[in-house]
Chain A
Amino acid sequence: IAGITQAPTSQILAAGRRMTLRCTQDMRHNAMYWYRQDLGLGLRLIHYSNTAGTTGKGEVPDGYSVSRANTDDFPLTLASAVPSQTSVYFCASSAGRGTEAFFGQGTRLTVV
């Protein structure tokens, strides 16, 4: 059982470049989320999707975009990366209201 798979595991990216972080789940969960974690603490929600075809903005959406074309995939795109987007990015999913979230292993992104 794979759960949630994120790719790449880590990436060093030049400022100004475009980058897509991939997230795939095999649990058929309705809801998916993207978080960033800075300094090893404090998860902040970037974008979320309650079901395929819908997305919403979280706490820190600026500079990021997402799409949810199907249930399994929820890619996060940085259109033009900046150093302040250096962080660890976690994708998560949950089955529905009131249920716990399952996390991927994270993508460590460094923008230089």
Chain B
Amino acid sequence: GNSVTQMEGPVTLSEEAFLTINCTYTATGYPSLFWYVQYPGEGLQLLLKATKADDKGSNKGFEATYRKETTSFHLEKGSVQVSDSAVYFCALISDSNYQLIWGAGTKLIIKP
């Protein structure tokens, strides 16, 4: 079946550090891939997405590239800020149904 695996947290970085949160997936066909962010006390918001191989999603300085050869969708940001502290979820939707498959979430803590 379809699945998403992302790195365990918490990830703790200093402000202006480089961020990578790994995400790999297992899926049949050609899924769409997503990163969602959840700030403390809030619901989930779509951060970025990619719908086909080699697509790069980007938003708010975050980027992720859909790598079909390595079945990965790693989230990166060149210089993190304290305001980026949140929980980040990697997810996929199969192209054959409506079902969102979620990673376990990675808590990111940025220290000033």
Which positions in A face B, CB cutoff 8 Å?
30-31, 33, 40-43, 45, 48, 50, 90, 92, 94, 96-106
Expressed in whole angstroms, the Cα–Cα distance for A105 and B51 within the complex equals 26
Name A105's closest neighbour in chain B (CB-CB).
B43
Which positions in B face A, CB cutoff 8 Å?
31-32, 34, 42-46, 49, 51, 87, 89, 93-100, 102, 104-105, 107
CB pair B100 A98 closer than 8 Å: no
Q: List 22 A-B contacts (CB under 8 A).
A: A30-B98, A40-B87, A40-B107, A41-B87, A41-B107, A42-B102, A90-B44, A92-B44, A94-B98, A94-B100, A97-B95, A97-B96, A97-B97, A98-B51, A98-B94, A99-B32, A100-B32, A100-B93, A101-B46, A103-B43, A103-B44, A105-B43
CB pair B46 A106 closer than 8 Å: no
Query: Within 8 Å CB of A31, what residues of B?
Result: 98
Expressed in whole angstroms, the Cα–Cα distance for A41 and B86 within the complex equals 11
Expressed in whole angstroms, the Cα–Cα distance for A92 and B44 within the complex equals 9
Extra contacts, 12 of them, besides A45-B100, A97-B96, A98-B95 (Cβ < 8 A), are: A40-B107, A41-B87, A41-B104, A42-B104, A42-B105, A50-B97, A92-B100, A97-B97, A98-B32, A99-B32, A100-B49, A103-B45
CB pair B89 A100 closer than 8 Å: no
Query: Within 8 Å CB of A96, what residues of B?
Result: 98
Query: Within 8 Å CB of A92, what residues of B?
Result: 44, 100
Name B97's closest neighbour in chain A (CB-CB).
A97
| 8 Å CB contact of A99 from B43, B45, B93 | B93
Expressed in whole angstroms, the Cα–Cα distance for A54 and B49 within the complex equals 28
Expressed in whole angstroms, the Cα–Cα distance for A100 and B91 within the complex equals 9
Name A98's closest neighbour in chain B (CB-CB).
B32
Name A44's closest neighbour in chain B (CB-CB).
B102
Name A104's closest neighbour in chain B (CB-CB).
B43
Expressed in whole angstroms, the Cα–Cα distance for A50 and B96 within the complex equals 12
Question: Given contacts A41-B87, A43-B89, is CB(A48)–CB(B99) below 8 Å?
Answer: yes
